Amino acid sequence: MNLDTIKEIQNKQSYPSVTITLPTYRTSPDNDKDPIRLKNLVSETVNRLEEEFGKRETADIVAEIHRLADSVDHEHNLDGLVIFASAEYSGLFKLPFRLPERLSIEDNFVTRDLVYAMNRSPLYLLTVLSENGSRLFVGRKDLLNEVNAYGFPFSLENVVASASISQDISHVRDQILTDQMREVGDALVEAQKQIPAPIVVVGVDRNIGHFRDGARNSDDVMLYIHSGLSDETEHQLVKNIWPQIKEALDEERQKVFVDLENAIGNNLFVGGLNEIWQAAVDGRADVLVLEEDLKIPAEVSEDGRTLTPLTEGFAQTEHTYEDIVDEIIEKVLANGGRVKFVDNDSLKAINPMRGMAVITRY
């Protein structure tokens, strides 16, 4: 799952839209209970649907939920499972990060857990440069998944360096390497559009030098690791370089607080609930910063411009939301903005009234 997939799912509007999320386990004996927990959650979902909307009216959605649940191969679970089902869309995803056990029946799908999980344990794009070519991995902590897309893996096996008598063959090969690194850099730009994550480049000094010379986005790399580890297995590679990546990711995450302070000084900071909502709706929100567990029940005015916070036990209507934060996230992402999560209470010094803030585009 990537950012485009999330945006596509967020654009689906149908009532009822069912979102089921479940933490799962990769190995036995932990994953032995996954089928039972999923079955119980599906039963709860069916009961709610039939009680609230009628058995006949929800028969197709119920059938699709059962089909998706029955299709799960629990011997090959990852860390999280999500099922989406409505009259117009259904899908099942296995994800390499933990999700809460949750059932939601709304007028759209709840994707906050996915956005949160992707940001809480930050992804990174690891590019491994070697004499034979370049490979790309998506990393989460010390786990790597190879990506065969955007042109990766790049290979030099069939590239032959030819030169005239007056040319140095090594110089020609250097130029070939530099040219390919330009292609690698362009491919990383495309990868970041789908997977908004910082870039880590690992390779020997010579190959990193070619990358710096050739790639147009070489200055945007979060971390260069000068190492001859590029020919090791994935497990050996990430074991050796993860401490450096972790330190760089921690530093990167703290930059959001500097960005917020700068936004205040440049009049690009928004901290009030209605101001944040309007910035999200109007497409002015560039970065939405959220404390991890923030939840705000709210009612949206008929003109869609004003929010009124609600206490628990409110009457459910088409204008009320159990958590308006989900709606804000979706609108920010739909308009090309970014969402960053921070620790609970960490925004108190910057915005004491709310556990969130926005950096606007203008």
Give a yes or no: residue 159 inside a domain: yes
Domain contains 259: no
80 assigned to some structural domain: yes
| 256 located within any domain | no
Of 71, 86, 120, the position where a domain reaches its end is 120
Q: What gap in Å lies between CA 50 and CA 46, rounded to an integer?
A: 6
Please work out, in degrees rounded to the nearest 5, the angle formed at the alpha carbon of residue 117 by the alpha carbons of 115 and 118. 65
Domain count, the chain: 3
CATH, residue 30: 3.30.960.10
Q: Classify residue 258: in a domain, yes or no.
A: no
Residues 80 and 36 in one domain: yes
- Same domain as 210, residue 150: yes
Residue 97 lies in a domain: yes
Note whether 10 and 90 are same-domain residues.
yes
Same-domain status, 137 and 116: no
CATH of the domain at 326: 3.30.1330.30
Q: Are residues 33 and 92 in the same domain?
A: yes
- Mapped onto helix, strand or coil, the DSSP state of residue 171 is helix
Could you give the count of Cα atoms lying within 13 Å of 152 in the half-sphere of its Cβ?
25
Half-sphere exposure of 175 (CA within 13 A, CB side): 10
- Domain hosting 342: range is 267-360
Whether 289 is in a domain gets the answer: yes
Task: Give the 3-state secondary structure of residue 272.
Answer: coil
CB 310 within 8 A of CB 300: no
Residue 132 lies in a domain: yes
Do 217 and 243 fall within a single domain? Answer: yes
Is residue 56 located within the same domain as residue 40?
yes
Residue-by-residue pLDDT tens, the chain, 362 positions: 666 788 789 889 899 999 999 999 988 888 899 999 999 999 999 999 999 999 999 999 999 999 999 999 998 888 899 999 999 999 999 887 788 899 999 888 988 777 776 666 678 999 999 877 899 998 888 888 888 889 999 987 655 444 444 555 566 677 878 888 999 999 999 998 877 789 999 999 989 999 999 999 999 999 999 987 666 778 888 889 999 999 998 888 889 999 999 999 999 999 999 999 999 999 999 999 998 788 899 999 999 999 999 987 777 777 888 889 888 988 898 888 888 888 889 999 999 878 999 999 99
Note whether 325 and 277 are same-domain residues.
yes
Distances (CA, A) of 37 to 26, 33, 85, 288: 15, 6, 18, 34
Q: How is residue 11 written in tokens?
A: 């654009």
Q: At a CB cut-off of 8 Å and minimum separation 6, what does 255 contact?
A: none
Q: Are residues 154 and 81 in the same domain?
A: no
